[in-house]
Homo-oligomer: A and B are copies of this chain.
Amino acid sequence: VAALAGQQLPRRTLTLPPGEQTKSLAHLAEICRWLAQNGATRKSTLVAMGGGVIGDLVGFAAATYMRGIQYIQIPTTLLAQVDSSVGGKVAVDIPEGKNLVGAFHQPAAVYIPIDLLQHLPSRQFNNGMAEIWKYGFIMDRELTERLQKNPQPTGNDLHEIIEACIRHKAHVVAEDEFETKGLRAILNFGHTVGHAIEQALGYSSLLHGEAISIGMVAESRLGELLGLTPPGTTQIIRSCLEASSLPTRFFAQFGPQHMHQDRLADPEALVNAMRRDKKATSGKLAFSLLTSIGGCKLIDGVEEQFVYQALQEI
């Protein structure tokens, strides 16, 4: 983004490196120190321009600098546009897990520069498609059908789809801003397994959307095993995601760096990570699981044996 903006960057800009590694307490310190050094006060407004990493990190800096200042999100990736920039969830990672240190802090405004998506590499575009499919799977059968007809939307079609996703997200967040009612947690479909995969792989090999793509297939299968998700749903979901060139298998080889011929990660390490998931209580796993294509439900107290089996079968 900084390279694209070139000389047009505002004078007071801090440029941060891309990648999940940037979502750390060390970079939070860097931003807060930079703010103080540049004379930022409680009346200052911070602008986060970049993908989800930048939005989450800069939003958390805004939540905590002087106990909270105003900020504006300008998400530049499809993933951030349809998901992380809306809803005020901001956070950084610690080695024990993703987003484990953070806050709820609503942006004063979110600008969505859809035109910038033309500069997005196709892998990054598909990364965002994973979250778009998610909205279809959990709460919008029509959106799912629309995407099945055109899994690589562009132009006005893309514009409408992004808008639909943001409306869904905003509606859920308005009903359950602080995730206390069990409603907002439904947006976590695919994320319990997905976050665990990201953590096991060190947040570097797979993009977030790729990890939750595999996570959605795994959690769909988990729902089938628990008798909640209609049989055959996993196959439908896999076809959808593969139409957007997203990975959907736990037992497979991913990318040139991943020579695991057997499985993506150690299942026990994944389940350990899931126990630290924010939805979990007293070590009991919780998942947002599908009741149909277009509906879902938060289920807690899931037995770990079913999670192992679901991973085994995808």
Residues in chain A within 8 A of chain B (CB atoms): 25-26, 28-29, 32-33, 36-37, 39, 41-43, 63-68, 89, 91, 94-97, 99-104, 178-179, 275-276, 278, 280-283
Enumerate chain B residues within 8 angstroms of A278, measured Cβ to Cβ. Answer: 41-42, 66-67
- With most chain B CB atoms within 10 A of its CB, the pick from A41, A67, A100, A104 is A67
Q: Contact: B101 with A65, CB < 8 Å? A: yes
Enumerate chain B residues within 8 angstroms of A39, measured Cβ to Cβ. Answer: 275-276, 283
| Complex alpha-carbon distance, A41 and B281, angstroms | 6
Least CB distance, A301 to chain B, in whole angstroms: 13
| Complex alpha-carbon distance, A135 and B89, angstroms | 38
Least CB distance, A90 to chain B, in whole angstroms: 8
Interface CB pairs A-B, < 8 A, 20: A25-B25, A29-B94, A29-B101, A32-B96, A32-B100, A36-B96, A36-B97, A36-B100, A36-B276, A39-B275, A39-B276, A39-B283, A42-B278, A64-B64, A65-B101, A66-B100, A67-B91, A67-B103, A67-B104, A68-B104
Least CB distance, A273 to chain B, in whole angstroms: 10
Partner of A95, one of B33, B64, B102, B275: B33
| Complex alpha-carbon distance, A282 and B39, angstroms | 8
Known A275-B39, A280-B41, A281-B43; contact A64-B101, beta-carbon cutoff 8 A: yes
Enumerate chain B residues within 8 angstroms of A102, measured Cβ to Cβ. Answer: 64, 66-67
| Complex alpha-carbon distance, A281 and B282, angstroms | 45
Least CB distance, A283 to chain B, in whole angstroms: 6
Q: Contact: B65 with A100, CB < 8 Å? A: yes
The 7 closest A-B pairs by CB, nearest first: A36-B96, A67-B102, A64-B101, A25-B29, A66-B278, A32-B101, A41-B281
Q: Contact: A101 with B28, CB < 8 Å? A: yes
Least CB distance, A55 to chain B, in whole angstroms: 15
Enumerate chain B residues within 8 angstroms of A33, measured Cβ to Cβ. Answer: 94-96
Enumerate chain B residues within 8 angstroms of A36, measured Cβ to Cβ. Answer: 94, 96-97, 100, 276
Least CB distance, A181 to chain B, in whole angstroms: 13
| Complex alpha-carbon distance, A299 and B67, angstroms | 21
Least CB distance, A59 to chain B, in whole angstroms: 12
Enumerate chain B residues within 8 angstroms of A26, measured Cβ to Cβ. Answer: 25
Enumerate chain B residues within 8 angstroms of A64, measured Cβ to Cβ. Answer: 64, 101-103
Chain B: CB-nearest residue to A96: B36
Enumerate chain B residues within 8 angstroms of A281, measured Cβ to Cβ. Answer: 41-43
